[in-house]
Amino acid sequence: MTTTSPILGIDLGTTNSLVGVVDSGFPILLADEQGQRLTPSAVNFAADGSLIVGAAALRKRALEPRRTVTSVKRLIGRRGGEGDWQPPYSLRELGVSPIEVSAEILKRLKAIAERALEQSVSRAVITVPAYFNDAQRNATKQAGELAGLTVERIVSEPTAAALAYGLDKLGERQKIAVYDLGGGTFDISVLEMREGVFQVLSTAGDTQLGGDDIDRAIVNWLAEGASGNSALESQATPAAEAAKKRLSSEESTRIELPFFDGTSSLSVELTRAEFEKLIRPLVERTRAHCLRALSDAGVKPEELDAVILVGGSTRIPLVRRYVAEIFGREPDISQNPDEAVALGAVIQAGILSGSLKNVLLLDVTPLSLGIETFGGLMNTIIPRNTTIPCKAGEMFTNAVANQQDMLIRVLQGERELAKDNWELGRVIVPFPPGPKGSARVGVQFAIDANGILQVLARDTATNTDTVLEIQNTAVDVDDERVEQMIAESVEHAFEDMNERVWTEAKLKAEELLPAVDAALTQFGDAVSDDERRVIESAAASVRALLHATEHDAKALKTANAALDDATQELAVRLVERAMEESLVRRGLV
């Protein structure tokens, strides 16, 4: 445990904001009392002088457009009249500045963190777009200070995203593109690694292009069928956004707008193919900006070492395909696009506070490492994205009687079949012949801080070790290290691995349980008895495993997933109910 006070990592987004911290060596994003990690960047100023921030504020937007401030990031650090965006509210009328509104969002994020961490925090790292000028960066910093936070550093969003994707392990002069399609803006940046830090070579984009435009395209499509019904247009946006999100994972979805104008209802099916036709022109607008950024940076697409996706709208399959087309390569989609910037801010904060060791944390295994087992299957020993240095092991036995030795093929890759993965090396482990299943060979993989993989195979009957070292780059491995490693039993490595999985599962459970409890208490009446029983029993299983004296990491992981599943529908209904309530309030139902 570190004694220094934690530093928060904050993504202060145009549409959504997130906060996180490094906890027990892991960068994590913190959830609010509803279990949500995404806080809409919206502030509602009530007539009585009180204010609300986040999802609740956003729900008031349709009712009180002039009292609800959204997208304030478009206004921060700009002189009045500057910029090309006209907000549907007047900050002057509300008597607040963009800095003050941003400060309210930051205060909310600080409160979410303090509740989750059960301690007060006063320091933060905040991200801003790469194109933000000095005035905009300073204004963001002032907002932080107004919210009671010392801003330790302002970090560029693409740089933060690259950190989250683990790309700081790139070699000198390697280059990447960060494609960020958010709620209202599109940013494309080309970065180059120079002396261990990212340099932004170029940025381009469109400040009027994002998920909002996609929602609008769906609304317009709906309205065509209803011949320009204005009630429909004002009601349909939340339903359109929800349908859009579903279409990122489903082939077809139904949009229902019950009594949208008091009498008529609408229920239409939207297929993914139809949706893609609708939004293709919008997505295609990103191409010119990408080419522009590449040419400004003097980089050809094939010279890029990675293309990463950031922003919630890059969850759309068409966007992913289109990015692959533009850059002539598959983008890296290994991180949650709407969380990558925040995660990078957290990592940066962790490095500053000393709770993350610079080199150690940021280096991760790019691909899973494992060995071939019976039936030609890949048996992963160290999963991809595991932080190095790391060590893990497993026990194997002979498949047939009187086998004299075992061939261990060391593999790298994500495919289920061994033959589809790359072979890094092979080693033969001899053991005394015996009946089937009598041999006990422990295989341990250890990767040191330099990324060198050492495979140790031990016949536990004779305590004979066979060691294979895999690395092209020559690094001296001193005998003491080797000996020390050999001295550590394979069983021990196994425990290490189990502890790691346990820690991850435990963090997840501790985040999930209070969120589920809160949702049940607050929205209990939206849940049928049957469903409540299912959720409560799933939660009870998680709780029991969490408090069991024997740590069963696998079981806890499975129980977490079951609880997540059990509450999925509830989450959907909470959103639907919020919509319904707003219809009722407006006397439309």
* Interface residue list for Mg ion (CB under 5 A): 13, 182
Q: Is 20 in the site for ligand ADP (CB under 6 A)?
A: no
312 makes contact, choosing from ligand ADP, Mg ion, none, with CB < 5 to 8 Å by partner type, with: ligand ADP
Q: Which of 32, 100, 104, 157 is catalytic?
A: 157
Number of residues that bind ligand ADP (CB under 6 A): 21
Binding span for ligand ADP by CB under 6 A among 2-10, 100-108, 240-248, 264-272: 240-248
Q: How far is the CB of 248 from ligand ADP (least distance, A)?
A: 4
- Min separation Cβ 40 and ligand ADP, Å: 9
Segment 77-116, which members bind ligand ADP (CB under 6 A)?
none
Nearer to Mg ion, 339 or 372 (CB): 339
Token pair in block for residue 361: 């944390």
Question: For tokens 């921060």, what's the residue?
Answer: 76
What distance in Å separates the CA atoms of residue 583 and residue 12, rounded to the nearest whole number? 30
- Piece of the chain touching ligand ADP by CB under 6 A; list 87-95, 103-111, 180-188, 458-466: 180-188
CB of 71 to Mg ion, least distance (A): 12
State the minimum distance, in angstroms, from the CB of residue 460 to Mg ion: 52
Find the binder of ligand ADP among 20, 166, 312, 331 (CB under 6 A): 312
Q: Is residue 244 near ligand ADP by the rule CB under 6 A?
A: yes
Integer-rounded Cα Rg, in Å, for the chain is: 27
If one counts every other C-beta atom within 10 angstroms of the C-beta of residue 371, the result is 25
CA distance 284 to 521: 45
Nearer to Mg ion, 9 or 182 (CB): 182
Options 27, 98, 166, 211; binder of ligand ADP; rule CB under 6 A: 211
Scanning the structure block, which residue is given the tokens 């129980």? Answer: 559
- Nearer to ligand ADP among residue 158 and residue 311 (C-beta): 311
Of 12-20, 158-166, 322-330, 475-483, the segment contacting ligand ADP by CB under 6 A is: 12-20
Alpha-carbon torsion, ordered 467, 470, 473, 478, to 10 deg: -20
* Of the candidate residues 20, 166, 182, 442, the single one contacting ligand ADP (CB under 6 A): 182
Identify whether 157 is a catalytic site residue: yes
Single out the residue of 241, 363, 394, 459 in contact with ligand ADP (rule: CB under 6 A): 241
Query: Quick one: three-class SS letters along 52-96?
Result: EECHHHHHCCCCCCCCEEECHHHCCCCCCCCCCCCCCCCHHHHCC
SS3 271: strand
Q: Answer whether 356's CB lies under 8 Å from 21's CB.
A: no
Task: Give me 444's structure tokens.
Answer: 């341990």
Using CA atoms, how far apart are residues 237 and 62, in angstroms rounded to an integer?
10
Minimal distance, residue 338 CB to ligand ADP, in Å: 4
Binding range to ligand ADP, per CB under 6 A, among 7-15, 106-114, 269-277, 281-289? 7-15
Residue from 36, 229, 248, 498 touching ligand ADP (CB under 6 A): that is 248
In 157-206, DSSP assigns E strands to 175-181, 186-194, 197-206
Task: Give 366's contacts (C-beta < 8 A, 6+ positions apart).
Answer: 166, 384, 385
CB of 14 to ligand ADP, least distance (A): 4
Determine the Cα–Cα distance for residues 315 and 272; give it in Å rounded to an integer. Answer: 13
Contact indicator for 17, 10 with CB cutoff of 8 Å:
yes
Q: Which does 213 bind (CB under 5 to 8 A by kind): Mg ion, ligand ADP, none?
A: none
Grouping H, G, I as helix, E, B as strand and the rest as coil, residue 322 is helix
CB burial of residue 571 (10 Å; 0-12, 13-18, 19+) = middle
What CA dihedral angle connects 477, 478, 481 and 484, to 10 degrees?
130
- Type of residue numbered 250: E
- Helix %, strand %, coil % for the chain, to 5? 45, 25, 30
* Binding range to ligand ADP, per CB under 6 A, among 53-61, 95-103, 239-247, 422-430: 239-247
338 binds, among Mg ion, ligand ADP, none (CB under 5 to 8 A by kind): ligand ADP
| Part of the chain binding ligand ADP (CB under 6 A), chosen from 164-172, 198-206, 263-271, 308-316 | 308-316
180 as an active site residue: the answer is yes
Min CB(3)–ligand ADP separation in Å: 34
Q: Cβ contacts of residue 244 below 8 Å, gap of 6+?
A: 211, 214, 215, 218, 275, 316
Q: Distance between the two ends of the chain, CA-based, in angstroms?
A: 55
Q: Does 466 bind ligand ADP (CB under 6 A)?
A: no
Please pick, from the candidates 6, 7, 10, 16, the single residue that binds ligand ADP as defined by CB under 6 A: 16
Active-site residue identified among 100, 104, 168, 180:
180
Distance CA 54, CA 458 (A): 56
CB of 13 to ligand ADP, least distance (A): 3
- Assess 14 for contact with ligand ADP (CB under 6 A): yes
Q: Does the annotation count 175 as an active-site position?
A: no
**109 vs 579 by CB, closer to Mg ion:** 109
- Give the closest residue to 451 by CA, choosing from 363, 371, 362, 334: 363
Q: Is 565 a catalytic residue?
A: no
Among 316, 351, 378, 534, binds ligand ADP (CB under 6 A): 316
How many residues are there in the chain?
589
387: tokens are: 């932080």
Contact status: 206 vs ligand ADP (CB under 6 A)? no
Which 8-state DSSP code applies to residue 23?
Answer: E
Active site residues: 11, 73, 157, 180
Binding interface with ligand ADP (CB under 6 A):
13-16, 182-185, 210-212, 241, 244-245, 248, 311-313, 315-316, 338
